[in-house]
A and B are shown apart, each in its own frame.
Chain A
Amino acid sequence: MTIAQDAWEASLLAAMWHRNRIVIQASSVDSANALFSLWKYMVPQYRTFVLCGDVPKTARYIKGAKIVEAKEPEAQREAFELSYAEEELGSPPIQIVYFGADPTVLRDVLSAIPQGWIATTTHPPRAWETEKTRVRDALSFADGTFSFLDPIPKDIFIERRLIQDMRDNSEGVRDFKVQLKQSEVHLAFQAMLTELESTGLLTQSYVSEMLNVRERTLAKIMAIGSRERRVDLSSFIQRTDPTIVGFLKEMSSVKELYLAALFDGENLVGYAKYRDINFPSQNFLRIVGAVGAYARCASRTGPLKYVEINTRHLNILVCVHPIVFGFVLEAGPNPLMVRFKVEESLGKLVKAAGTAPSR
């Protein structure tokens, strides 16, 4: 496979994942259907498939699929609209697939549904395009064309990486990897919803630690979530302050660093995991809490400024300024360097951390 192929595959994956409207056109319905089968693995499996038209045998057996038997365009449209509306009541997101759609269906039935459908057809766009169903992008192969009725999502970094990562994998493994990532994103969104219900507002750092995801995945979670659940969470997630992001990026030059966390009071306002390690950031606060209790017991210690815990392979550092900086790094002489970097950026960070929500 080539780089170019990776790129369009990533676009296709993004379109399917984001539930964009897609029309697959070929010289016969069978070959259009075959194209759909070939790429079907890119559609998240947690979605409920709603099938209509001349449903081929292979599709009939999709697990949990609902088949709309109605032949009347009016009845079909009602069935789709109903399924789409049920989503808002908490049903799993749907994915409509219409096999062998003629121009009437595309113009009158599917155009009523704003997202989440794929149709196979033999008719070129000029036969069915309307105001509502305008082709924005197209991918042509020898045996058919994919017409995209919604713009391809801009940020497809994750899709690209996924496609690259499975370049040499068998069909089964590709299927597995795509579904795994998609379910992760789906479940993460659910978790975020639940968490928000109990707290009202979250910091991005808190979410990315809780879900163990990086910024890009977090963006994907929000994007897919807003398509499928039609809830936009972005205003409930407090973004990490750019100064803190800058600091965390800068810290990545300390190559022994595993993770860094910044707290303003109890709030996790910055979090970055540079290498894999299992260490809940709450531990930093626990350390500060315990040291505080000991200090109350002794006298004349002055305020706590710094704790360094050394194990054979790891150093844990906590700097209290009074923003709490927590670091885990490989054992070695690095603590000095980390402290230096913290002190260097302190002024602007203290200013930046000022406005955090309750978590």
Chain B
Amino acid sequence: MANIKDIIDGIMKRVPEVVGVILIDIDGIPIEVAGRFDMKPEDLGALLSACYNSYAQVGTELMQKLESIIVEYGDLKLCQNRMPRGLLTIIAGKNAHIGMIRLEAKRAIDVLTKMMQDTMEMRTEMVKEMKFRMPDSRGIADILSRFEKEGS
């Protein structure tokens, strides 16, 4: 069975102008990143989600739910698409055909939505079954003591 990474890599392979594909959760936590960026995935995720959400506000003013946005700069094009629990962003070079990218996004979203749903359910199960032990190897006191020591 294909996983999230395969889907995202697939887009990069099929459309040579695409320089990066990022799947983040609604809040900007990076789930899967393909391509090379001069930014940490964490920052990129926060940036992209904020970006999308501030446009979503414009949609809200029109009483409409935002589905996707396209932004074109001189040197790159960006296509962001809403998913039930996340956001798929495709970044392409300036010569990319935006219609093509839109199409890729649409296709990917259906598959990804299903996959993310499944992984979520799995994870909830795991937490329930204590397989996912928290707060993990480091105890609370251990973590907090790190803040006590550091700095001035």
Interface residues of chain A, those whose CB is within 8 Å of chain B, are: 277-279, 283, 286-287, 290-291, 294-295, 297-314, 316, 328
Contacts and interface: CB of A to CB of B under 8 A. Distances in A.
A306 B73 CA distance: 7
A300 B58 contact: no
Interface of B: 38-39, 47, 50-51, 54-55, 58-59, 61-62, 64-76, 94
B66 A309 contact: yes
Given A302-B75, A302-B76, A311-B65, A297 B47 contact: yes
Contacts, number: 80
For the complex of A and B, 8 pairs with smallest distance between CB atoms: A302-B74, A302-B75, A311-B64, A301-B73, A306-B72, A308-B70, A302-B73, A303-B74
Contact residues of A: prevailing secondary structure? mixed
B68 A310 contact: yes
8 contacts: A290-B55, A294-B50, A298-B39, A302-B73, A306-B72, A307-B72, A310-B70, A314-B62
B70 A307 contact: yes
A273 B7 CA distance: 43
B73 A304 contact: yes
Contacts of B58: 283, 286-287, 309, 316
Contacts of B61: 279, 283
A304 B76 CA distance: 9
Nearest to B38: A299
B94 A302 contact: yes
B19 to A, nearest CB: 11
A302 B39 CA distance: 16
Contact of A311 (B59, B70, B71, B75): B59
B74 A309 contact: no
